[in-house]
Structure 1
């Protein structure tokens, strides 16, 4: 009996194996293999971005024609139907047709087309045919347009990924309606899909969700707190939704979150103690938000945390000592907060750290005495804190260190250069703004990988010798030191090919060794030797230089025409030297040139006349030279021009009315030349829309004041309500090998006010000024000047103006300086001018005015010199009293003035304004905005490396 049972069992197993073998030979169904082959014929297969394996190349009807054996295809073992199609990273390209044959695979449970390129075509409509679909992945495949709504009918979906289709963004008009039927979802990723809406409350009911990816979706409103409390949620990513607000829940927060990404959102509030309940949390990224308060000590309970990224918030208080328990941390980034602490010793226990960035805080301790345990550390950013003392010798034992950023830390002492070269992997060293020096010990540093070296503002008096042995140096920053003498040739040794940026500005350098003026750097893009004591002819910049600044030296001789062979120049600043001769005519033709500054030299002859249609110049400064001739009409081709300063030359021309074609022109300075003739009669259809400053003073213009010109200055008609001061500048980008250097250069100029030169290192965007003084203008002051409501300074002095002072000037509510002196004005000073509460300087002297001087507000602060030589004027501060009394109060002001607005002028009236309320406060504020006359007169460059030089 037992033998019979065994025989029957073996027979059954044998028959079953035959059945399965025979079935396997006929797995593929003809209708499905036909659908797949038709899809292959209609789609392209080319080598695109993430292509790994062109799986469809294995598809063929030759041989067995079994589609279940084709690449990316999986069939059900029982029915033989295609249930999985994975064509991710398969080099697919082209457009998916609306009637794609993939929709005939009605038994599909999983479809993956990720990492292909469908040419930003729409996702085809028809997914509702695939009613059994559980997994759909169309991410990173260059789809665009509206997501077809029939996807929302796939009620069996467990995972839906439409993320990172970056071209013309995918968009979803109504997310709430779309997900309404998808309640079984475990994973939903719509990152970079344009939602432009708030998060639908229904998502709080998706209790199965383990992943919710909604980064950079244009979300707005507030993220419901209940999302944090979903019972199975492990990944929440809403990064890059700048209008999405929210806060951390305080109670009942113990979800299984492992990855929480909130960076670059509008989240705010404190980080609650309850965050310590997230015992499974691996990564927390919430940088560039608005979190405040202190870091709770309960964060020390997050024993699984490998990344803590909270930079650029408003966090303050001590870094909890409990962080010593975060032993799994590999990345800790808390930079740009207001954190404090008097010890960093807890750091040395975090032995798995590879990336530590706590720069830009208020940490006040010394550097940790021991770094030996941090053997995996690659990045160390501690700059811009209040750390002090010496650099501990244990730091040189961190063999994996690649970035060592210790700028602005009050460090001092002498470093042994040999220690630097123990760090064989060190690529970036920043020690700027410390008080350090280096030993002169000879070293062999040929194996060093150091490429970026910043030693700016270190109080160095000589070139550190170890620099001569850095064969891979790309960036060398030694600005704002006290390095004297000539620039030695060895500073360039072994790195002629590698150097891309050199900054030696603001030192005491007198020249080049052996009077070298041909700088041998074939790849150099950025060279700044400004503000030194160089006494030599102009060194020709290297052939690929984009920024060349050698201003504020003692250069002499002519500019050789060979400079125009440097066709990559973006910034050329040769100002404040003693260069002479003619300006090479070819300078205006250098294609990418954005800033041209030749001011304060001894150039003569004509302004270059050739400016092609492709001109990219934004700034031209030729002031204080000896230039003659006319303003070349071809300048109108420089359509991006913002700043034009031709002041203090010998230009003999009429007003260049064609400048109004330059829509971005902010500043025009033609003062102290030989311009002549009328302006008003020659102008029509002017459009100086962007003009902020117009200085035509000290010329020979005549005729009436240019009403049409002034009336076209639309920017002067609107008072800027900005809360913070901003400055006019340009920010050219310089390509430096693996990075881009952003160079912010603020405009600067000299303004005449009441006969005194005032030099402005920065020009605020709210500074509006008109100076037509010292010309031969005649006739009335036009009423329309009262429309220029944002004017801060108006100077019409030293002309032949007649008529009365228009009451409309009282509309200039933020006016700070008004000079109408030395004209032939008659009548009374309008009483309405007493409403100008920002007015610091008022001068109507040497006219024929009469009647009482207005009383109240700023008028009570003006001295008698403001009204001198007007025999008919009476009242304080003049000695002659008015016959009808001089105590009549001014009429009530009908103008609303922002008393908190910062003034832009300091005209040495602080003593006179003492105790006068608003006027005194304005004067004090102004003092901080005016550069001292002994300071550098032109350009203040704020250089910000893309890698944050000394962050």
Structure 2
């Protein structure tokens, strides 16, 4: 009911209203109705009268606080038909029972009024109610409504029911029965976030007048019933975040009366958009965060009334139909995080558009200069993370209404020269990062006085400018100029000139700074500062710790020392990244607030302090690698905060590994390349949460602890290059998430594999057992279990992902070494599509199993330096992803399969020092390999070895081995020579006889023809 004013001549009614006013606590500065009530006036704001009686009272938004007493004069206004107390603050007091005495009430609105506790069943006496709004209650531990029927059972006239965020606890879909049997005239049902469970029962169909159904945020966990399309008056259907699943019925999309459809945040809901009928009524369509996918139908242009469409993070693909130009009433469009391709459609007829978000797609082409200039209401335009290219039209920068413009992560090029000569009046946020925009940064950009945030990072801007130019952007709070090719001069900055700036975030990474900007000392609001990858020398000043920073990154500079001990300051900094500097001396005492601390790649030369746990009470990341720390690892490090990542690698630490490190809540432990000795701690708890363990390149002895199998989350294990004894660690087969296992260069012995174990290594992609004393044959059952090597599964980089601090996600990357053709290579980031098997330098024997053929996603296979015998299996030629194959220094015999020439990715091949015979294939990848790949095989011949091949028993055997391969070069030459013999029978005894019986003639003859054929092949 609209706010009304009327004359209320009844003296008793006036006195009751004044008595009510005096009993209520309200803010006179915020009140617009109660503050005007007075005995002397005839007009009472918020009061509606009929025949001198108060029938309507609207006190919404009157800043009323406190509680309404049961004796309040409110309950003496017996003829009230409408009462609105919404949007006040009744301090979580109970709903007054006196409301039940207002028997004439038709409309009752107590929404957003901060009542709490149970909804009194006494309200059920209000049998004339047509509208009941109790939504958005704030409740105590007790449920707000335990029995829906007890409240609405007698409200047969109810047409609108709003119970949003009221806890209702019926059993199953009992709530549907309660509604259908109690309120048959119901038109509006709004029960979002009421803890309802599903499915929606067909009994709801008896409510034939329903036009609004809002059930968002309930746990329906079912399919969407088709009968919802049968509501002939349905205007709004909102089922967001309800756990819906299965196929969404097309019929509902096509309901002629439907104006609003919201299905967002139902990740298991599938389907596609149908063909839309002409002149549909749909005004709002929200399908974000569902699995509704496919192409947008051209008929979407029939929705002439559509004003809002959100398809965020669905799986739509294909072009955005050109029929979008018909949507003249469109005001809000968000298609971000999909797979749309092709050009951006014209939206020039949508004069009311305020927001267009098309980021994170694959849109291509150019932005035409006239595409947006007619959208005079456009406030936000986000086209980031696409494949758009060309020059950015200057009309975008001079648009009269755009406040936020993001074109980041595209392929835009050209220059910005002249783009800001006419400063846009409304532009507040400009993001052009991660493009190919070049040239000098136009000085006119500093004329954008309304800018609050500017990001030009990761482009090709050149030139130089003084940092004092920034002070012209008086409203600037965030600036990111990182990773360009220009240089910023920060010397001799006048800090007073920047005193009016109130920066919150400043990113000047890789800007060729040689000094710290001194104006930063006055930035009391600054919380994010990144000056990494510059050339700043000297000491880190004391004042930088007096700022209210939460994130500080000064990494990759030339800092040598700190002016103060951090423990003496009350800094609130959570993230401190000082890696890759020249800091030296003792490890600094760090503030207790720090969560992330990276001091790696410096020159610290000291013990790790025994009291390291005293200040670091909240630390989760501690990275001290690549320094000169020495001595033992102190036990106190186990008491540091809530460590998730500890990296002490590449130092000079000695002693044993503290047992407590293995019983912490660590997810990453890296002690690589130190001088640690003794045994690996044995008593690892069942609660182990390790994901990465690297203790390689130390002096560790003993056996691999059986209790390490308790670490079920392990993905990366590197115990290589130690002195570990024992047999193959069969207990690792219980770790199903294992993806990298490196045990190289130890003293392990026995057979590889576990005859009585069931392997769960379906994710294992790298296994390195090289340089041990393993014997026996190659393990067929182990190889058969390597599912990740059987198909090209495209995962992310192998790395651990941790908490999100201040919108920066931290990763920890471990490294590993692999031997490729006698080269030690180190992989810093391990792509999960990279797969490797290295069993080299052991005592393995027997044949190469044919089951290797199944590992079609294998990239590197190294079986060198063993005693493997038999022939090279032909099926190796089917491993089409193989990039490196090393079978050198074994006892392999037979010929080289010509099928290996089909391995188009094979770049490293080593078959040297075996017992192979026959001709080296001269096609495909074999044309790229060097002589060293085949040396040490006395029976091999061919151009690569400068050794001619003869027609002999060996050649006959080679032809037998090769079967019917018609492409074999030796076979062609054999038939060629036989043709000569058949054509010149007489000449055979003159020429052929000496060739057969005289060895020197025979070699000279074949060498001649080899050279002839080689020259012909080069023509």
Match of 1:517 in 2: 587
- 1:85 is the counterpart of 2:138: no
CA drift of 1:353 comes to 3.5
Q: Deviations over 1:330-358 (max 9, x none)?
A: 22222122334545543454444332222
Q: Deviations over 1:869-894 (max 9, x none)?
A: 44455667552535143784934689
Give the SS at the match of 2:130.
strand
- 1:110 is the counterpart of 2:160: yes
More divergent stretch after superposition (618-627 vs 58-67): 58-67
The aligned runs of 1:411-426 (5 Å cut-off) are 411-412=461-462, 414=464, 416-418=466-468, 420=470, 426=476
Match of 1:939 in 2: none
Give the SS at the match of 2:372.
helix
Query: Residue 410 and residue 439 in structure 1: after superposition, are their counterparts in 2 closer, same or farther (change >3 A)?
Result: farther
- The one of 121, 125, 139 aligned to 2:176: 125
Query: Residue 732 and residue 487 in structure 1: after superposition, are their counterparts in 2 closer, same or farther (change >3 A)?
Result: farther
Give the SS at the match of 1:243.
strand
- 1:633 is the counterpart of 2:717: no
- The one of 745, 762, 769 aligned to 2:829: 762
Q: Deviations over 1:259-280 (max 9, x none)?
A: 2323333444545565444333
Q: Do the aligned residues in 2 keep the contact of 1:507 with 1:532 (CA within 8 Å)?
A: no
Q: Deviations over 1:909-933 (max 9, x none)?
A: xxxxxxx9xxxxxxxxxxxxxxxxx
Match of 1:489 in 2: 541
Query: Residue 556 and residue 139 in structure 1: after superposition, are their counterparts in 2 closer, same or farther (change >3 A)?
Result: same
Task: Give the Cα–Cα distance (whole angstroms) in 1 for the partners of residues 844 and 891 of structure 2.
Answer: 11
Task: Give the Cα–Cα distance (whole angstroms) in 1 for the partners of residues 933 and 862 of structure 2.
Answer: 14
The aligned runs of 1:309-320 (5 Å cut-off) are 309-313=357-361, 314-320=363-369
Task: Give the Cα–Cα distance (whole angstroms) in 2 for the partners of residues 747 and 315 of structure 1.
Answer: 37
Task: Give the Cα–Cα distance (whole angstroms) in 1 for the partners of residues 239 and 658 of structure 2.
Answer: 56
Query: Residue 622 and residue 507 in structure 1: after superposition, are their counterparts in 2 closer, same or farther (change >3 A)?
Result: farther
CA drift of 1:658 comes to 2.0
Match of 2:405 in 1: 356
CA drift of 1:288 comes to 2.4
Match of 1:795 in 2: 862
Task: Give the Cα–Cα distance (whole angstroms) in 2 for the partners of residues 456 and 505 of structure 1.
Answer: 9
Task: Give the Cα–Cα distance (whole angstroms) in 2 for the partners of residues 306 and 116 of structure 1.
Answer: 34
Task: Give the Cα–Cα distance (whole angstroms) in 1 for the partners of residues 662 and 466 of structure 2.
Answer: 49
Q: Deviations over 1:81-135 (max 9, x none)?
A: 2222212123463565475451432221111112323369645132333332221
Q: Do the aligned residues in 1 keep the contact of 2:245 with 2:270 (CA within 8 Å)?
A: yes
Q: Deviations over 1:244-272 (max 9, x none)?
A: 33426379747233223233334445455
Match of 1:903 in 2: none
Task: Give the Cα–Cα distance (whole angstroms) in 2 for the partners of residues 119 and 892 of structure 1.
Answer: 76
Gaps of 5+ in 1: 1-16, 26-48, 74-78, 895-915, 917-951
Task: Give the Cα–Cα distance (whole angstroms) in 2 for the partners of residues 18 and 581 of structure 1.
Answer: 89
- The one of 655, 664, 671 aligned to 1:591: 664
Task: Give the Cα–Cα distance (whole angstroms) in 2 for the partners of residues 591 and 757 of structure 1.
Answer: 33
- 1:57 is the counterpart of 2:127: no
- The one of 596, 619, 630 aligned to 1:545: 619
What TM-score does the superposition give when structure 1 sets the normalisation length?
Answer: 0.77
CA drift of 1:146 comes to 0.6
Q: Do the aligned residues in 1 keep the contact of 2:368 with 2:393 (CA within 8 Å)?
A: no
Match of 2:347 in 1: 299
Match of 1:776 in 2: 843
Give the SS at the match of 1:145.
coil
The aligned runs of 1:393-412 (5 Å cut-off) are 401-412=451-462
Q: Do the aligned residues in 1 keep the contact of 2:514 with 2:534 (CA within 8 Å)?
A: yes
Q: Which has the greater radius of gyration?
A: 2
Task: Give the Cα–Cα distance (whole angstroms) in 1 for the partners of residues 760 and 256 of structure 2.
Answer: 62
Match of 1:666 in 2: 739
- The one of 432, 446, 451 aligned to 1:382: 432
Q: Do the aligned residues in 1 keep the contact of 2:107 with 2:130 (CA within 8 Å)?
A: no
CA drift of 1:317 comes to 1.0
Q: Deviations over 1:543-565 (max 9, x none)?
A: 43323334345555554444333
Task: Give the Cα–Cα distance (whole angstroms) in 1 for the partners of residues 543 and 295 of structure 2.
Answer: 54
- 1:222 is the counterpart of 2:260: no
CA drift of 1:366 comes to 0.9
Query: Residue 120 and residue 812 in structure 1: after superposition, are their counterparts in 2 closer, same or farther (change >3 A)?
Result: farther
- The one of 756, 764, 782 aligned to 1:710: 782
The aligned runs of 1:118-197 (5 Å cut-off) are 118=168, 122-123=172-173, 124-126=175-177, 127-129=179-181, 130-165=183-218, 168-175=219-226, 177-180=227-230, 182-196=231-245
Q: Deviations over 1:805-857 (max 9, x none)?
A: 56665664544433333234456666776665654444443344556667765
Query: Residue 132 and residue 337 in structure 1: after superposition, are their counterparts in 2 closer, same or farther (change >3 A)?
Result: same
Q: Do the aligned residues in 1 keep the contact of 2:750 with 2:776 (CA within 8 Å)?
A: no
Give the SS at the match of 1:125.
helix
Q: Do the aligned residues in 2 keep the contact of 1:190 with 1:214 (CA within 8 Å)?
A: yes
Give the SS at the match of 2:366.
strand
Q: Do the aligned residues in 1 keep the contact of 2:169 with 2:195 (CA within 8 Å)?
A: yes
Task: Give the Cα–Cα distance (whole angstroms) in 2 for the partners of residues 707 and 634 of structure 1.
Answer: 24
Query: Residue 473 and residue 760 in structure 1: after superposition, are their counterparts in 2 closer, same or farther (change >3 A)?
Result: same
Task: Give the Cα–Cα distance (whole angstroms) in 1 for the partners of residues 110 and 422 of structure 2.
Answer: 50
Task: Give the Cα–Cα distance (whole angstroms) in 2 for the partners of residues 246 and 50 of structure 1.
Answer: 47
CA drift of 1:433 comes to 0.7
Q: Deviations over 1:633-687 (max 9, x none)?
A: 3322222111112222333444333222222222222222333455568874554
Q: Do the aligned residues in 2 keep the contact of 1:58 with 1:71 (CA within 8 Å)?
A: no
- 1:568 is the counterpart of 2:642: yes
Number of positions where the alignment pairs a residue of Structure 1 with one of Structure 2: 835
Give the SS at the match of 1:151.
helix
CA drift of 1:443 comes to 0.6
Match of 2:571 in 1: none
Q: Do the aligned residues in 1 keep the contact of 2:223 with 2:246 (CA within 8 Å)?
A: no
- 1:657 is the counterpart of 2:730: yes
Query: Residue 356 and residue 583 in structure 1: after superposition, are their counterparts in 2 closer, same or farther (change >3 A)?
Result: farther
Match of 1:694 in 2: 767
Q: Do the aligned residues in 2 keep the contact of 1:831 with 1:891 (CA within 8 Å)?
A: no
Give the SS at the match of 1:467.
helix
What TM-score does the superposition give when structure 2 sets the normalisation length?
Answer: 0.72
Q: Do the aligned residues in 2 keep the contact of 1:316 with 1:340 (CA within 8 Å)?
A: yes
The aligned runs of 1:454-533 (5 Å cut-off) are 454-484=507-537, 486-490=538-542, 492-495=544-547, 498-513=548-563, 515=585, 517-531=587-601
Give the SS at the match of 2:840.
coil
- 1:720 is the counterpart of 2:773: no
- The one of 237, 252, 265 aligned to 2:286: 237
Query: Residue 891 and residue 743 in structure 1: after superposition, are their counterparts in 2 closer, same or farther (change >3 A)?
Result: farther
- 1:644 is the counterpart of 2:717: yes
Gaps of 5+ in 2: 1-47, 57-86, 112-125, 565-584, 967-1013, 1015-1019
Task: Give the Cα–Cα distance (whole angstroms) in 1 for the partners of residues 53 and 384 of structure 2.
Answer: 66
Match of 1:907 in 2: none
Query: Residue 428 and residue 582 in structure 1: after superposition, are their counterparts in 2 closer, same or farther (change >3 A)?
Result: farther
The aligned runs of 1:600-619 (5 Å cut-off) are 600-609=673-682, 611-619=684-692
CA drift of 1:200 comes to 4.0
Match of 1:6 in 2: none
Task: Give the Cα–Cα distance (whole angstroms) in 1 for the partners of residues 821 and 730 of structure 2.
Answer: 28
Task: Give the Cα–Cα distance (whole angstroms) in 2 for the partners of residues 696 and 329 of structure 1.
Answer: 62
Q: Do the aligned residues in 2 keep the contact of 1:268 with 1:291 (CA within 8 Å)?
A: yes
Task: Give the Cα–Cα distance (whole angstroms) in 2 for the partners of residues 525 and 546 of structure 1.
Answer: 5
Query: Residue 365 and residue 854 in structure 1: after superposition, are their counterparts in 2 closer, same or farther (change >3 A)?
Result: closer
Q: Do the aligned residues in 2 keep the contact of 1:774 with 1:799 (CA within 8 Å)?
A: yes
Match of 1:925 in 2: none
Q: Do the aligned residues in 2 keep the contact of 1:536 with 1:555 (CA within 8 Å)?
A: yes
